Structures are given as structure tokens and as C-alpha cells.
Amino acid sequence: MRIIAGAAKGRRLVAPRGLDTRPMTDRVKEALFSSLGAAVRDTRVLDLYAGTGSLGLEALSRGAAEATFVERDRAALTALRANVAAVGLGGVVVAGPVERFLDREGERFDLAFVDPPYAVPLASLNDVLSRLTARLVGGAVVVLHRRRGDEVQATVPSLVLTDRRHYGSAELWRFAKEEM
């Protein structure tokens, strides 16, 4: 696993042992960031269920202004902190549950990655997406990564599905927050 493009291109990332952290493959990550293009530049990025931090770090490498990484797993946090330090482009690591972070008042984001473990029930993702909307600016982009074939029932009124693509066993859902 590595940073694909930008200022930190080629930098290798560490991952915790075991199957609890499921990083997005380089192929899928490359397709995602190619589709986002220049829209990543100067954004405030939120990486939920950050794991190794590969999505937020890729965004920073490609010109995002800042990134916040939220992760609760101890082994993943160790790898995440090491990756943020090694890449050297900044980023704030928040240890704890995604829901707790989203319920706090705070910064609003332009781009959010939601990449939960596949074991996270689909029903709880609607709750996470609903909580997330309060932390997004109008027009923000949300990318949800799931296993291909999972039917995400996103019924969050202020999020509009704008794209859905699959790559092998992975599926990416892209939403935009309606302008207020």
C-alpha cells in the first residue's frame, strides 16, 4: 500500500496485522482520485474509519489543505499515527468512535471518506451519514466504500447519490450534500 500521486508519491504506508483493517486497494484508490480530479485541492478532508489513513493521506498528497482522521481500533491507530508522521503532510488523528466525533460541534468539511469495516451493519451507515451532514459544507462530496453487492439505503434527505461504481469486489458510492 502506498501513496499513488502528488507530493508524497510512492511513500509506503504501514498497516496493522490481521483482517480488521481492510485498506482500499491501490487500483480502486487510483480510480477514485482520478474521478475526483482537481476537486481535492484546497479541501478540508474527513477520513472516517481511517484505518491506515491511506485516503486522507492521498488527498493531502494531492493538495488537500488539511485532513482529520477518525479511528477507534488500537492497532489501526498505531499504524495511522506512524503513517501521518512518515508522510509528513500533517493531519489530525482523533481516537474514538466515529459517531462520537460526528456529534461534537466543530469544523466542517468539503470532502469525506466513509470506509467502515464490512462488518459494520448497513443500517448503522444511514445513522453515520445523517450525523455526518451536520459536519459538511454545502456541495461537499462524500465517498462511501463498501463490498460490491451491499445495498446502501441512503435515505439522508440532504445527501444526493451522484455516482456508483464497482471495481472487483469493491463498490464506491458518491454523494453530494445539497447546497443550503
Render each residue's pLDDT in the chain as its tens digit; 180 residues: 889 999 999 899 998 876 555 668 888 999 999 999 999 999 999 999 999 999 999 999 999 999 999 999 999 999 999 999 999 999 999 999 999 999 999 999 999 999 998 777 777 888 899 999 999 999 999 999 887 766 666 667 889 999 999 888 888 999 999 886
H/E stretch holding 144: strand 136-147
Tell me whether strands 170-177 and 109-114 are parallel, antiparallel or unpaired. Answer: unpaired
24-48 pLDDT, tens digit each: 888 899 999 999 999 999 999 999 9
Tell me whether strands 159-167 and 92-95 are parallel, antiparallel or unpaired. Answer: unpaired
Q: CA–CA separation, 53 vs 37, rounded Å? A: 19
Q: Can you give the pLDDT at residue 112?
A: 98
Q: Can you give the pLDDT at residue 16?
A: 84
Give percent above pLDDT 90 in the chain: 68
Longest dimension (CA), the chain: 43
Q: Which three cell numbers stand for residue 144?
A: 462511501
Query: What are the structural domains of the chain?
Result: 30-177 (3.40.50.150)
Q: Which three cell numbers stand for residue 141?
A: 462530496
Q: Can you give the pLDDT at residue 20?
A: 56
Report the alpha-carbon angle 175-10-20, nearest 5. Answer: 55
| SS3 category, 51 | coil
Q: Can you give the pLDDT at residue 17?
A: 77
106-128 pLDDT, tens digit each: 999 999 999 998 777 777 888 89
Whole-model pTM: value is 0.93
